[in-house]
Structure 1
Amino acid sequence: MTAEPSGYSPSTLADALAAACRGRSTAPFLLGEDGAADATYGDVHRRSDQFAAGLLAAGVRAGDRIAVAAPNSPEWIATWFAAAKIGAVLVTLNVAYREREFEYMLNQSATTVLVCVDEHRDFDFVEFLEGLRDRLPTVRHFVTLGRRTLAGGVSWSDLLIEEPDVGVIRRASASVQPDDPAVLLYTSGTTGDPKGAVLTHRSILASAQAQVAHLDQRADDVAIGHMPLNHVGGMTCTVAAAMIAGGSVALLAGYHPRTALQTTVERRVTLFVGVPTMYAMMLGLPEFAEADTSSVRTCVIGGSNVEPELGKRILDVFAGARLANLYGLSETSGGCVISAADDDMDTLTSTIGVPIGPFAARVVDDEGGVVEPGGEGELQISGACVAAGYWERPDETSATFVPGGWLATGDMAVLRPDGRIALRGRKKEMYVRGGYNVYPAEIENVLAADHRIAMSAVIGVPHPVFGEVGRAYVVPAAGALVDVDALVERCRRQLAEYKVPGEIVVVESLPLTPSGKIKKVALRDQQL
């Protein structure tokens, strides 16, 4: 294996893929699903060259936006690297989006090329886009993954140029700068309309490199690839991090608990990354107890600090594995805070970790003043991982990306004297009951400790006396009956009276964002 020069660090995504190929061109990168062929680093490099050549031949140039709406796939990843090689900007769309999201995001980004599946789960995207195309004036090329195309469109494979002029592509890559936009990732919208976070080559690589170092990821690691690629959990925390480490990704089209378990066993997954709901669903499978998951050496939970009961279950079933929280946002391009290697269960359940790599964190009050360690305020992050702002949204950019290179996360937190960060909840999710601030995460942890509860979400709702009170939505575990009175009593035993939900509603499911987090704005809007 050819060693990189001492201190070498790739500055663009194209550089990073080329570096991964040097000496490891024949090493596995993407492990196929359901018998599909594996792809080596060299395969991904060549296929992205072929698609990059096709894009250039179609008139795509540096700075143009290329949108992709498809499940996780090797073609998705090749499209990403092809765009990066020619300096185009990838606009990531979720395959679950429909008319409003497509029209808004494609027009707001002024996308010129749309790569989309022809159908997904019985939804006909060709018919859908034929009816929408007149309202997408900037989209010049419709490219479909599948057998069917739009009128005047082409298939993804037809756009490939089998023998590309790699010299032309390398010259295009040489003009791409680290701070150029690489990805336009629309926020999942838990608190309002989506905004397109502008992730640069530098910010994506900075987050991936810091994660690899902090988690000690290695070339022999196999990461499970079920987090959606249109989200930083799939793009940065899974694929880019694996590429930096030289490891493999067991790529799945999406998350399903049985598929995740089967893949973990068959592909000898060593790094399992997921949000709490993914773990809870997989661990709840009857066949999990008999499955050989001994290959897993690191379990990462994204989104928030692990719930106590879930954390204990994970460490029980993945014996000897390291458990870590990973905190990151679209605006930090991936992870920026991860649990320390020596964190015990109490620390894992009460904090999200420490800033990784060269990143920094601080907590500020409502006036922007820095709060001393132990005080509560809004969490802010700085470092090369921070995105370049929101696409064509200067007011929102200035409100979130504040002077000094700090990102205002919108999360309430406490920076402990030991440097660890305790998350209190979303600033906008906090509600005020009778003059007291209430953070839903604290109540949700109490509810989740009941073995009869699979998922829970708490929001504030109007009240004529207290202003707001808590309403808890709970999803029963498989085959379980929920005793609402017992849950209320559990909350009363463990929480101050003003934190006890005024109402507990049992539901079959909760609305989720594309990244698998509970979408509380939908709970408020739907008034379940």
Structure 2
Amino acid sequence: MPLPPDAAPLPSLHAATVDAMLAARAEDTPEAPFLYFGDDTVTYAQMHARAERAAAALHRSGIGRGDRVAIAAGNSTQWLVAYFACCRLGAVLVTLSVAYREREFVYMLGQSGARLLLCDERAGDFAFRPFLESLRPRITSVERIVYFGAPDAEDSWENLLAAGAGGTEAGTTVTAAAPAPASSPDSPAVILYTSGTTGDPKGATLTHRSLLASAAAQSERFGQAPDDVTLGVMPFNHVGGLTCTIGASLVSGGAVALLPRFHPDLVAQVVPARRVTMFVGVPTMYRMMLGSEQFAACDVSSVRLCVVGGSNLEPELAGQVRDRFGGPRLANLYGLSETSGACIISPADDTFEQVATSIGTALTGFEARIVDDDGAPLPAGEAGELQVRGACVAAGYWEAPGATAGAFGADGWLSTGDIGMLTDDGHVTLLARKKEMYVRGGYNVYPAEVESLLATDPSVAMCAVIGVPDATFGETGHAFVVPAPGATVDTAALLRLCAVSLAEYKVPARIEVVDALPMTPAGKIRKVLLTPSRT
């Protein structure tokens, strides 16, 4: 797998583990910055030293190869130290969101069999300590809970390190040795639960090989180099944060300017301060930044690449992003939990029109195809389910053989559940989630097509289309629209726009104006929660 000309050397991806990659960076470029977080700068050597110390502490507390360690915390240096320490031990990190509550915690901790839970003591106004204590009788696999953000408490992360490591850091030297590395390329490294928009979440089992394969393929496509600084706004319990941000920077030797959470004002502060060169986000983030007065006034001249993941980059939004950032390279990024990160990205030579109408092509070493309902490949121009194959594909779903067999084919093809089309040159156009497609009067309707049209109206900030029951047609479309700041939405005008631009069966029966849309922690619209009003 070729790397950019200026990229720092790295171990063979087919023989490397995540912890070996960090160790190689620490040896080759020890003083190079890996993480900017607040006023702190953490070099590769320092991150490696902290991870070694944490691995020793976790090992002495009884954590070893194959054990599951859950983490529910916001983006931080400590989160990454715990991640690399688990990789070093061969333990499996179960990544949870601080937005999860009772049902998610009980199910995910129990289904994964996590023995240790690392958790923020607080997330905003929410106190986790009393919440988790109330769940104790129902999370029986968890033997110990350790808290971030409570340094004086007996059950703090700091006390775990002090009691277990038996030594201190001197510069970048660890006086307490961690055990011998216990991971192999095909060892599970992370259990990352799907968003759970339908049914119980499934734990995608990401291996060291799959994580590094996706990260390296992305790094190659983007030409990432040691002097790149990626803005870290995607949560680490999502592949957008874990692989597309941290992993790709690790394999390229670059740095990450990390934010504890996304907010346009925080972005406006860190981009010029750290001379950020890459922004990886979802459409919602870009829309929020474009509507921020503070962001409108900040210097973004250092940004060379704006990456949009999670859904199609609509032409209207693409133009606004291009204009605000002064003409940087724009790229779509498509990936799933099940692909460990990116697997399809816009090529560097794509035109503006191609970026605005497709999600790109399969990355080097990966394959993409479109199949019909029977799994037979379809020719270019025909809509069907998108399948992906390559080293990025996860090992399956944790302890769920039935679900694994339904999505992960014996021939290596992963069924994504997304509907798309291929062009003759391999570009993929994403139409909709398979489960979001609805049928009106015998005709398939893909919501993404209608949403892209509605988004072209300047009065529309966000929109979502779902299928609802209809006595005449079986199903018909219902659109939810969030007004742009200061704008008034004319629903009749939007319906006329749809009638002029789309076939009749694609026109929504109703457009409803709402204040906001329900979102997943990763910034995607959670359509399962959309319910039309009765008025």
- Sort the TM-score into its range (normalised by shorter chain): over 0.9
Instruction: Tell me, in whole angstroms, the C-alpha distance in 1 between the residues paired with 2:209 and 2:123.
Output: 33
Normalised by the length of structure 2, the TM-score is: 0.94
Per-residue CA deviation, residues 347-390 of structure 1 (Å, 9 max, x unaligned), is 11211100002000111111111112222211000000000000
Instruction: Tell me, in whole angstroms, the C-alpha distance in 1 between the residues paired with 2:442 and 2:265.
Output: 46
Q: Using the TM superposition, give the Cα deviation of residue 526 of structure 1 relative to its aligned residue in structure 2, in angstroms.
A: 9.3
Q: Using the TM superposition, give the Cα deviation of residue 216 of structure 1 relative to its aligned residue in structure 2, in angstroms.
A: 0.2
Instruction: Tell me, in whole angstroms, the C-alpha distance in 2 between the residues paired with 1:449 and 1:14.
Output: 45
Letter in 2 for 1:154: D
3-state DSSP of counterpart to 2:350: coil
Q: Is the 8 A contact 2:15 2:185 kept in 1?
A: no
Q: Using the TM superposition, give the Cα deviation of residue 305 of structure 1 relative to its aligned residue in structure 2, in angstroms.
A: 2.1
- Show the 5 A alignment for 1:99-248: 99-147=102-150, 154-160=155-161, 161=165, 162-163=167-168, 169=178, 171=180, 173=181, 175-248=182-255
3-state DSSP of counterpart to 1:237: helix
The match for 2:440 is 433
3-state DSSP of counterpart to 1:404: coil
- Show the 5 A alignment for 1:413-424: 413-424=420-431
Instruction: Tell me, in whole angstroms, the C-alpha distance in 2 between the residues paired with 1:2 and 1:469.
Output: 51
Would the alpha carbon gap of residues 340 and 527 (structure 1) be closer, same or farther in structure 2, given more than 3 Å must change?
farther
Q: Is the 8 A contact 1:67 1:113 kept in 2?
A: yes
Would the alpha carbon gap of residues 194 and 6 (structure 1) be closer, same or farther in structure 2, given more than 3 Å must change?
closer
Among the aligned pairs, what percent are the same residue? Answer: 53
Would the alpha carbon gap of residues 527 and 394 (structure 1) be closer, same or farther in structure 2, given more than 3 Å must change?
farther
The match for 2:77 is 74
Residue 290 (str. 1) matches residue 297 (str. 2): yes
Residue 43 (str. 1) matches residue 49 (str. 2): no
Would the alpha carbon gap of residues 382 and 42 (structure 1) be closer, same or farther in structure 2, given more than 3 Å must change?
same
Instruction: Tell me, in whole angstroms, the C-alpha distance in 1 between the residues paired with 2:84 and 2:111.
Output: 23
The match for 1:56 is 59
Q: Using the TM superposition, give the Cα deviation of residue 290 of structure 1 relative to its aligned residue in structure 2, in angstroms.
A: 2.5
Instruction: Tell me, in whole angstroms, the C-alpha distance in 2 between the residues paired with 1:526 and 1:104.
Output: 31
Instruction: Tell me, in whole angstroms, the C-alpha distance in 2 between the residues paired with 1:308 and 1:189.
Output: 29
Q: Is the 8 A contact 2:332 2:355 kept in 1?
A: yes
The match for 2:273 is 266
Letter in 1 for 2:106: E
Q: Using the TM superposition, give the Cα deviation of residue 320 of structure 1 relative to its aligned residue in structure 2, in angstroms.
A: 3.2
Instruction: Tell me, in whole angstroms, the C-alpha distance in 2 between the residues paired with 1:101 and 1:202.
Output: 28
- Show the 5 A alignment for 1:370-449: 370-449=377-456
Letter in 1 for 2:307: V
Instruction: Tell me, in whole angstroms, the C-alpha distance in 2 between the residues paired with 1:90 and 1:527.
Output: 44
3-state DSSP of counterpart to 2:204: strand
Would the alpha carbon gap of residues 6 and 69 (structure 1) be closer, same or farther in structure 2, given more than 3 Å must change?
closer
Instruction: Tell me, in whole angstroms, the C-alpha distance in 2 between the residues paired with 1:335 and 1:238.
Output: 10
Q: Using the TM superposition, give the Cα deviation of residue 48 of structure 1 relative to its aligned residue in structure 2, in angstroms.
A: 1.0
Would the alpha carbon gap of residues 288 and 118 (structure 1) be closer, same or farther in structure 2, given more than 3 Å must change?
closer
Letter in 2 for 1:382: R
Per-residue CA deviation, residues 396-434 of structure 1 (Å, 9 max, x unaligned), is 000000121010000011111111111111000000011
Would the alpha carbon gap of residues 222 and 5 (structure 1) be closer, same or farther in structure 2, given more than 3 Å must change?
closer
Q: Using the TM superposition, give the Cα deviation of residue 288 of structure 1 relative to its aligned residue in structure 2, in angstroms.
A: 3.3
Bigger drift between 327-336 and 159-168 goes to 159-168
Q: Is the 8 A contact 2:70 2:109 kept in 1?
A: yes
Per-residue CA deviation, residues 78-105 of structure 1 (Å, 9 max, x unaligned), is 0000000000000000001111100000
The match for 2:32 is 27
Q: Is the 8 A contact 1:118 1:149 kept in 2?
A: no
3-state DSSP of counterpart to 1:492: helix
Q: Is the 8 A contact 1:109 1:391 kept in 2?
A: yes
Q: Using the TM superposition, give the Cα deviation of residue 523 of structure 1 relative to its aligned residue in structure 2, in angstroms.
A: 1.1
Letter in 2 for 1:139: V
Residue 508 (str. 1) matches residue 515 (str. 2): yes
Letter in 1 for 2:347: A
Would the alpha carbon gap of residues 207 and 447 (structure 1) be closer, same or farther in structure 2, given more than 3 Å must change?
same
Which residue among 18, 23, 27 is the counterpart of 1:18?
23
Structure 2 spans left out of the alignment, 5+ residues? 1-5
Q: Is the 8 A contact 2:151 2:157 kept in 1?
A: no
Q: Using the TM superposition, give the Cα deviation of residue 286 of structure 1 relative to its aligned residue in structure 2, in angstroms.
A: 2.3
Which residue among 310, 335, 353 is the counterpart of 1:346?
353
Per-residue CA deviation, residues 55-91 of structure 1 (Å, 9 max, x unaligned), is 1011111000000001000000000000000000000
Would the alpha carbon gap of residues 356 and 121 (structure 1) be closer, same or farther in structure 2, given more than 3 Å must change?
same
Instruction: Tell me, in whole angstroms, the C-alpha distance in 1 between the residues paired with 2:446 and 2:432.
Output: 6
The match for 2:3 is none
Instruction: Tell me, in whole angstroms, the C-alpha distance in 2 between the residues paired with 1:48 and 1:318.
Output: 36
The match for 2:99 is 96
Per-residue CA deviation, residues 178-212 of structure 1 (Å, 9 max, x unaligned), is 01100000001233321000000000000000000
Instruction: Tell me, in whole angstroms, the C-alpha distance in 2 between the residues paired with 1:10 and 1:242.
Output: 19
Would the alpha carbon gap of residues 199 and 524 (structure 1) be closer, same or farther in structure 2, given more than 3 Å must change?
farther
Q: Is the 8 A contact 2:210 2:391 kept in 1?
A: yes
The Cα RMSD (Å) is 2.0
Q: Is the 8 A contact 2:120 2:128 kept in 1?
A: yes
Q: Is the 8 A contact 2:30 2:44 kept in 1?
A: yes
Q: Using the TM superposition, give the Cα deviation of residue 251 of structure 1 relative to its aligned residue in structure 2, in angstroms.
A: 0.6
- Show the 5 A alignment for 1:479-518: 479-518=486-525
Which residue among 445, 468, 474 is the counterpart of 1:467?
474
Q: Using the TM superposition, give the Cα deviation of residue 486 of structure 1 relative to its aligned residue in structure 2, in angstroms.
A: 0.9
